[in-house]
Structure 1
């Protein structure tokens, strides 16, 4: 039996949250099995929390050089991954994305030959062409007038492997999402789900089958785990559920200290499990995970203890922290010290107001 405390320390260790590590950004993103990129700054904040000496330019260069690509992947959400990991994950989530498109845009694209629509999108994005989602939708609506342009643009994102090239997805760059063909990545149609499971366990294990499904959104993983069972270590958690892990993986001591960490919205350890109690209580989860949103959080002793946000006023920036449980005076000092470092990273030239504690 593996305790919840050990499971907590395990995910912190594998996600480089017990201590910052020194790694090139592409290696770090692969080790973490991708970074959520719903908003452009999220991957930067995630790496700042994990790497020593991390600078904004290092990640931007990797995105501009196409060593890292941004696309809709796990759970049908935007992620930043390496090119090899795009080749691994995109075929694995293809069925999930097709279902998501059908559920959201199926009625709005009635009467459209989807194969013909995808072929037309490939033509429009051939030879390195880049179109925003609205531009692509309008161009497709000229050929398929029975559907609204917005539904056509979104449908392409779900049915055809596309990436969102720089400057989209780089620090502080917002605006319409550009589409470019992903043909150059070499992503095929064959899904290697066994390798996906092994990579998931390396980044997040030990974990249950339901955990892997919650992280990826991919169905049919029970059969994959059963096929891999002879090559995996199998334990149980405090509730008696089977936990799978790589046989060579080590588990940290439950007593290893966990420093304060500021995590961005949608950070992976909060979303990588069906049972999220290794990271936060159910009561805390109800405040952090509201609808489809997941707040930016503060880890204290390894678990979610607060939420955070930034406030701008008259050229100054303030960090606002909302506690979710009682913190000791030493915890408060540690949060304020790490918060000051966060402000130095995010807004090095702005005036910093004192950290504000919300009720």
Structure 2
């Protein structure tokens, strides 16, 4: 039987607080913030910079860049769902141990495109060997993989944005998840890849079961109450496997009632802030809060689901968050070297207090991006990010 009942407002307030969106920053250090968020989605690196720095009260995007390439306290690699993330370097053993233990789902590719299990092992080993002491572009890495495995790895059969990619690239994200690959600094405009061991001497993935337990705990602390299906969707795992994982952790978890349905939290973690969820926030593309918080129907109520979701997928639009729920969308555009034009489309009229808070948020976006931001309230005509 559920031990406690949580309302949406209670859960929203505690998630805002634990995500650094309740007004008081959790930390100023990008790596500490990334740890609290369970990673920052970085397919669009500028969005990841905003995700982290909008949770501070000072500093610019260079703090994230320094954490990545100078201090090495952040690692850019493949994380949950096989998508690019910024993860704390100190937690990379946990992340790679946990992600390597997640069962691989069925391939989305045609049988004549897929790699066999044996070929997959060869490719992953070739990637690890090629990057052990190097920073390679994707073309250079491709040459090394094909040379080490065979011409089959280089067959241009994998559907891509424009044309075809070589066969081996369908498991590139798994190399990152297993700890054999991470991103290196750009070489001009070209992305490079390297081994995390070059930046983190002594690095090795943690034991799988222990790492999975630690990751479930991190996720539930940040985004609980949640269901096994919520976790499965977030990490990119089969739902049946995740249900068994939660069952195996029964002694560490506690069942509660959340908005009329059963959900789980960490055992004993029943507190919620006394105050109602409040505040105005601008969240960029693929911000962790919009992706990880569920149920969707409560986070994106009414018109917000139609305007701010792509199908049922969150993250494809930057969102305006008011009092813990999505209340609009926004878009930014550079104009010259320093001017940043922000268009915000609220779904309901803003109060005077909300408009003042929004002005502050817009100014902070400009500071982070090292420019001057100018606000327009109006319709956002830009479609969803792919």
Give the TM-score category using the shorter length: 0.7 to 0.9
2:237 aligned with 1:218: yes
Give the Cα separation in 2 of the matches to 1:85 and 1:347: 29
2:94 aligned with 1:71: no
Match of 1:295 among 301, 317, 326: 317
Corresponding residue number in structure 1 for 2:216: 197
Match of 1:153 among 149, 169, 174: 169
Match of 2:88 among 69, 79, 82: 82
Q: CA deviation at 1:181?
A: 1.9
Corresponding residue number in structure 2 for 1:44: 49
Post-superposition Cα deviations, 1:288-310, rounded to whole Å, max 9, x if no partner, equal 22156521111112211111111
Instruction: Say if 1:319 and 1:343, in contact at 8 Å, map to a contact too.
Output: no
Match of 2:257 among 211, 218, 236: 236
Give the Cα separation in 2 of the matches to 1:95 and 1:231: 20
Aligned in 2, Cα 1:353/1:210: closer, same or farther, shift over 3 Å? same
Give the Cα separation in 2 of the matches to 1:337 and 1:82: 29
- Normalised by the size of structure 2, how large is the TM-score? 0.80
Instruction: Say if 2:60 and 2:369, in contact at 8 Å, map to a contact too.
Output: no
Match of 1:338 among 339, 344, 361: 361
Further displaced range: 280-289 or 1-10: 280-289
Instruction: Say if 2:43 and 2:84, in contact at 8 Å, map to a contact too.
Output: yes
* Aligned residue runs from structure 1 range 203-352, under 5 A: 203-219=222-238, 220-248=241-269, 250-253=271-274, 255-281=275-301, 283-290=303-310, 294-315=316-337, 316-348=339-371, 350=372, 352=373
* Aligned residue runs from structure 1 range 65-144, under 5 A: 65-94=71-100, 98-99=104-105, 102-104=107-109, 107-110=112-115, 113-126=119-132, 128-142=133-147, 143-144=149-150
Instruction: Say if 2:255 and 2:265, in contact at 8 Å, map to a contact too.
Output: yes
Give the Cα separation in 1 of the matches to 2:170 and 2:193: 11
Runs (5+) with no aligned partner, structure 2: 157-164, 381-386
Q: CA deviation at 1:13?
A: 1.0
Corresponding residue number in structure 1 for 2:193: 179
- Normalised by the size of structure 1, how large is the TM-score? 0.86
Give the Cα separation in 2 of the matches to 1:76 and 1:206: 24
Q: CA deviation at 1:242?
A: 2.7
Further displaced range: 46-55 or 184-193: 184-193
Across the two proteins, how many residue pairs are aligned to each other? Answer: 350
Give the Cα separation in 2 of the matches to 1:228 and 1:189: 16
Q: CA deviation at 1:330?
A: 3.1
Give the Cα separation in 1 of the matches to 2:348 and 2:166: 43
Give the Cα separation in 2 of the matches to 1:181 and 1:217: 23
RMSD across aligned C-alpha pairs, in angstroms?
A: 2.8
Q: CA deviation at 1:110?
A: 4.9
Q: Secondary structure at the match of 2:141?
A: helix
Instruction: Say if 1:262 and 1:299, in contact at 8 Å, map to a contact too.
Output: yes
Post-superposition Cα deviations, 1:10-45, rounded to whole Å, max 9, x if no partner, equal 210110100232443322221222111111112221
Post-superposition Cα deviations, 1:161-212, rounded to whole Å, max 9, x if no partner, equal 34434434xxxx9944322123443125624322211111122122222222
Q: Secondary structure at the match of 1:156?
A: helix
Instruction: Say if 2:10 and 2:276, in contact at 8 Å, map to a contact too.
Output: no
Give the Cα separation in 1 of the matches to 2:47 and 2:103: 22
Corresponding residue number in structure 2 for 1:62: 67
Instruction: Say if 2:304 and 2:326, in contact at 8 Å, map to a contact too.
Output: yes
Further displaced range: 137-146 or 265-274: 137-146
